[in-house]
Amino acid sequence: MPILDVRHLSKIYEGKVAHQALHNIRFTVEQGEFVGIMGPSGSGKTTLLNLIATMDQPTAGEVMINGRNPHLLSRNEAALFRRRELGFVFQHFNLLDTLTVEENIVLPLMLESAPLNMMEDKVKHIAAQLGIESILPKRTYEISGGQMQLAAIARALIQEPSLILADEPTGNLDSKASREVMSTLSASSREASATILMVTHDPVAASYCDRVLFIKDGQLYNELYCGDHRQAFFQRIIDMLALLGGKSHDLSTIRF
Amino acid sequence: MTFRQFASSNVLRNKRTYAAYFLCSAFSVMIFFICTLFIYHPELRQQIFYPVVVQAMAGAALIMYVFSFFFVLYSVGAFMNTRKREFGILLMHGMTDRQLGNMLFLENMIIGVSAIATGIVSGIITGKLFLMAGSAFLGISPLPFRLPAGALGLTAASYAVLFIIISLCIPWLLRSKKLIDLVQSGQPLRPEPGASRGLSVLAVVLLLLGYGLAATSTASTLTYRMVPVTLITIAGTYLFYTQLGVKLVGRIARSRPFAWKQTNLISLAGLHYRLRDHAQLFSIVTVVLAISFCSVGVFVSIPVLSKQFEEDFPAAVGYMSKEGNSLDAAHLSEISQELGSRSIPFEALTLPIKYVQAQPSRADSQPGHLLTLMSYSDYKQAVLMSGQPLIDEPPAREEALVLVASQNDRTYLRGRKLTSHVLTSGLTLQETRYTKHVAVPEYLLPDLEDEHISGLVVHDEVFAELSHTLQTDLYTGFYVEDYRQTEALVPELAPGGSVRYTEGLPYALTVSGTLYSMRDSLYSILLFAALLVGTVFFIAAGSFLYFRLYANLDADQRHYATLSRLGITDSEFSRIVTGQLGLLFFVPIGLAIVHSIFAFIALQSYFYLSIAAEMGVVLVSFLMMQVVYFFFIRSQYLRKLRKSMV
């Protein structure tokens, strides 16, 4: 059974002029898969992610996560569902700046009233895994953007959620930090067999995925599989983006 | 868009931030206006207590004005802080300092002028209500509504001056801010709050010292202790928030077994930063609230004095004829005639009061002091005539009872030592105890050097044998069933109800009915003025809190949006917010209540009767108002935050 099963998902924004943001999207994500979603601005990537994250209600179709449809849950149950089944990595990190890195990471466990020693063990384990032990006692303003994103990934992983949703995780990072964050994400996907769905603009970040879905005008346009060669995969992503209507000079700076 | 439009749209678009500041300014303008309405009221001028009303209302207006000045200054400073980044951007795009100054001046004047207009208009609308309340307090028939030009002019002019002065101060508030500081100020650079252990201990010491001094003060030490104790407590309050509070919360937040449980850490960490960022505000709110409680408390407790009025003025009409007074017979018959014409049955009593020279001890060669003496049997008769049970035992030949001037003076007598007096005849009178009753109404005896006693009660034989008497006065008391009936009796003899012994007339006179109603309206009008001022202070404190909350709304919205994505349920969310708001609202008021309780303990030393009940009513009613305000703001705030949540 797939972890994520998106069935005929449509979203129409009502307003003076109704706008169809998503049109009959369907795809599945298997356990341990790392899937990227790309597309030009306004193609509906973020809408799709928000629907899967239960932050928004679809107009038609349904989303099944681990066999459950979160859109049928009450507000309260949806909150608990997000807490237990989903992990989030955001473009702006969204760490709480009143807490230390360590406290930020254990936050989901704390909300669940996990036993103290279990929390301490888990945070130690996950920090070792991501190589961020040294920043655990620090505050968010003392660490770099890349470190913040690693901390956010640790927070997303600590509950061992069914699905991790990442929204432009490298959007605010330089290329070196981006690479570090992406290799951490793909390593977690491989080693901890975490299932990750990532929205991104960045072809380099996308090249770390096992598979990339392309969306255009709210519809699935194409998908690419990584295969064995990441460099070749990257080239195919670039080509696909060019085909999607991005202007080639948009990408010139990152073609290396 | 002209420059003026730019400034006015800045104000209108920030209306949420400015709302509380605007409302509070408008409210103080309104109360100021109401006070001037009383001062300039044409019908009130004809009342006998008009001078009292003018004093009370002018006092209230002045306090309001001074307070408004600081309130506006502080609020403007606070707004500038929240808008630093905006100023930075404007300056970076080439706005000159002068233009920025002009813009802020215009903005502030827009708010100021509209606050004045709103205040005066709402004052006009509610004026009748306040005049009715005022006349009810004064016990007169409801005053009609008048709109004197003086009241309008004074209010508008004084507040216009206030806003202009503060608007002119703005460039000075902004000076020496580097562009880089302004531009970068919006960024969240939030080091962990720190606090020193030494200063935390000092906070506890100062608060305990302040409380200790307040609790142990007596009527005689109260006056010179008041200022230092207030300063100590204010300093203690400030350190309590900045040091002790931060330290304690930081320590609790670090204790994992407690903090790492559900939403505890989120609340604690938030509180930790909030305390550090708002410590100054918390102290101001606490002090302002405490002042408000105390001022209302003082004036609520003063009417307690009226309860013992009858004991302090045992005779409904007391007439003291000084030696050589040729008019006494005429005056006395006038009083009895007026009593008769009002068909008030009365009994009269006349007794002599003698004045002699005395020295503190036999060896003393100094000229000595004046002593007022009355005989025990006269004292006994005067007490019995006033309908009080006699409790005092007669003094022996060489003994004397100290006659208290009024029951409330007992609070001073606690610190006085009994002494002895040597009369010119060589007789030594040893003070043995204080009389239980006041025999002669207050004001009818001269002030002695020892100002809280009015004289000595001596053995009848000693009184009869007195030689070298300097002067003998005749006291006549008229005793009636209900002294209130004597209101406005013999007004030409005693305008305002009393002629004091020290006024230099050949007689002294007290008319209890008139005195009582004068006092009653004085206390009432003072209480009314204190309530007006207290309410303004209370609302100002609330406005500080409101402003703080809304200045941080954006950051809080981001904070809770993150939490809600991570999966926080509605009940957990409202628990965190309620907890944080609760602390914001009730820690300052809680501390202010503790401060006021100690202030009231100190105040109690001034009063002979207990004022605990009055104080309880004051504190509980303020607390209730705060609870209502809390629930109102909480629901608004939760609604605002929910908008940003998933």
Q: Are B141 and B278 found together in one domain? A: no
Terminal-to-terminal C-alpha distance of chain B: 38
Nearest-angstrom CA–CA distance, B475 and B507 = 10
What mean pLDDT is predicted for residues B583-600?
Answer: 90
CATH of the domain at A11: 3.40.50.300
Cβ neighbourhood burial of B133 (10 Å; 0-12, 13-18, 19+): middle
Which of B464, B498, B518 represents a domain boundary (last residue)? B518
pLDDT digits (tens, 9 = 90+) for A106-127: 988 888 888 889 999 999 999 9
Residues of chain B above pLDDT 90, percent:
13
Q: Are B385 and B514 found together in one domain? A: yes
Looking at the complex, does the CB of residue A118 fall below 8 Å from at least one CB of chain B?
Answer: no
What mean pLDDT is predicted for residues B468-488?
Answer: 86
**How does residue B186 score in pLDDT terms, banded at 50, 70 and 90?**
low
pTM of the model: 0.78
Nearest-angstrom CA–CA distance, B396 and B461 = 10
**How does residue A253 score in pLDDT terms, banded at 50, 70 and 90?**
very low
CB contacts, 8 Å: B255 with chain A: none
Terminal-to-terminal C-alpha distance of chain A: 39
- ipTM, two decimals, is 0.82
Highest mean pLDDT among B18-22, B258-262, B381-385: B381-385
DSSP 8-state symbol, B144: P
pLDDT digits (tens, 9 = 90+) for B40-78: 988 888 877 788 788 888 888 888 898 888 888 888 887
Instruction: Tell me which of A76, A111, A121 to substitute to probe the interface with B (most B C-beta atoms closer than 10 Å).
Output: A111
Q: How far is A214 from chain B (nearest CA, A)?
A: 25
**Which pLDDT score is estimated for B452?**
66
**Which pLDDT score is estimated for B154?**
93
Say yes or no to pLDDT of A17 above 50: yes
A88/B566 Cβ within 8 A:
yes
Nearest-angstrom CA–CA distance, A140 and A104 = 9
**Which pLDDT score is estimated for A256?**
43
**Which pLDDT score is estimated for B594?**
93
**How does residue B184 score in pLDDT terms, banded at 50, 70 and 90?**
low
For residue B461, which phi and psi values (nearest 5 degrees)?
A: -65, -40
**Which pLDDT score is estimated for A149?**
92
User: How confident is the prediction for chain B on average, in pLDDT?
Assistant: 84
Strands A163-167 and A86-89, by their bridges, are parallel
Q: Are B24 and B126 found together in one domain? A: yes
Provide the β-strand partners of residue B457. Answer: B374, B401
Angle at which helices B570-604 and B612-643 cross, to 10°: 160
**Which pLDDT score is estimated for B450?**
61
Contact between A154 and A130 under an 8 Å Cβ cutoff? The reply is: yes
Question: Structurally, how many domains does chain B consist of?
Answer: 3
Question: Structurally, how many domains does chain A consist of?
Answer: 1
Q: Are B611 and B629 found together in one domain? A: yes
Nearest-angstrom CA–CA distance, B194 and B520 = 53
Looking at the complex, does the CB of residue A152 fall below 8 Å from at least one CB of chain B?
Answer: no
Which of B518, B543, B576 represents a domain boundary (last residue)? B518
- Which of A83, A96, A139 minimises the CB distance to B567? A83
Q: Are B392 and B273 found together in one domain? A: no
Query: Which has more confidence, B44 or A58?
Result: A58
**Which pLDDT score is estimated for A101?**
92
Q: What are the structure tokens assigned to B410, written together? A: 């007992």
Nearest-angstrom CA–CA distance, B271 and B583 = 8
Instruction: Please provide the DSSP assignment of B37-99 as one string.
Output: HHHT-TTGGGSTTHHHHHHHHHHHHHHHHHHHHHHHHHHHHHHHHHTHHHHHHHHHTT--HHH
**Which pLDDT score is estimated for B519?**
82
pLDDT digits (tens, 9 = 90+) for B70-129: 888 888 887 787 787 788 888 888 888 888 888 888 888 999 999 999 999 999 998 888
Q: How far is B138 from chain A (nearest CA, A)?
A: 55
The torsion angle over the Cα atoms of residues B553, B559, B563 and B569, rounded to 10 degrees, is -20
Scanning B414-511, the segments in alpha helix (DSSP H) are 460-465
**Dihedral sign from CA coordinates of B94, B98, B104, B110:** negative
Q: Are B566 and B507 found together in one domain? A: no
Instruction: Look up the domain containing B70 and give its range.
Output: 1-189
Strands B428-434 and B420-423, by their bridges, are antiparallel
Q: Give the containing element (helix H, strand E) for A251.
A: helix A248-251
Residues of chain A above pLDDT 90, percent:
38
Q: Are B326 and B449 found together in one domain? A: yes
B565/A88 Cβ within 8 A:
yes
CB contacts, 8 Å: A96 with chain B: 266, 269, 559, 562-563
**Which pLDDT score is estimated for B342?**
87
Contact between A11 and A55 under an 8 Å Cβ cutoff? The reply is: no
Instruction: Look up the domain containing A71 and give its range.
Output: 4-254
What mean pLDDT is predicted for residues B473-485?
Answer: 87
pLDDT digits (tens, 9 = 90+) for B320-373: 888 888 888 888 888 888 888 888 888 888 989 988 888 776 665 566 778 888
CB contacts, 8 Å: B571 with chain A: 76
Looking at the complex, does the CB of residue A116 fall below 8 Å from at least one CB of chain B?
Answer: yes
**How does residue B163 score in pLDDT terms, banded at 50, 70 and 90?**
very high
- Which of A76, A107, A139 minimises the CB distance to B566? A107
Instruction: Tell me which of A46, A80, A89, A96 to substitute to probe the interface with B (most B C-beta atoms closer than 10 Å).
Output: A96
Q: Are B510 and B635 found together in one domain? A: no
Instruction: Tell me which of A98, A112, A142, A157 to substitute to probe the interface with B (most B C-beta atoms closer than 10 Å).
Output: A98
**Which pLDDT score is estimated for B593?**
93
Q: Are B574 and B471 found together in one domain? A: no
**Which pLDDT score is estimated for B438?**
87
What mean pLDDT is predicted for residues B240-259?
Answer: 87
State which residue of chain A sits closest to B271, comparing Cα positions. Answer: A98
Which residue is it, tokens 């040091």? B243
A79/B190 Cβ within 8 A:
no
State which residue of chain B sits closest to A54, comparing Cα positions. Answer: B646
Which of B518, B537, B562 represents a domain boundary (last residue)? B518
**How does residue B185 score in pLDDT terms, banded at 50, 70 and 90?**
low
Say yes or no to pLDDT of B237 above 90: yes
Q: Are B445 and B327 found together in one domain? A: yes
Q: What are the structure tokens assigned to B428, written together? A: 């030594």
Looking at the complex, does the CB of residue A103 fall below 8 Å from at least one CB of chain B?
Answer: yes
**Which pLDDT score is estimated for B514?**
86
Q: How far is B95 from chain A (nearest CA, A)?
A: 31
Q: How far is A188 from chain B (nearest CA, A)?
A: 20
Q: How far is A178 from chain B (nearest CA, A)?
A: 22
Q: Are B571 and B538 found together in one domain? A: yes
Q: Are B456 and B559 found together in one domain? A: no
CB contacts, 8 Å: B567 with chain A: 79-84, 86, 108, 111
pLDDT digits (tens, 9 = 90+) for B487-524: 888 888 887 788 888 888 888 888 888 888 888 888 88
**Which pLDDT score is estimated for A252?**
45
Q: Smallest Cα–Cα separation from B600: which of B290, B286, B206, B224?
A: B290
Which residue is it, tokens 């008041």? B226
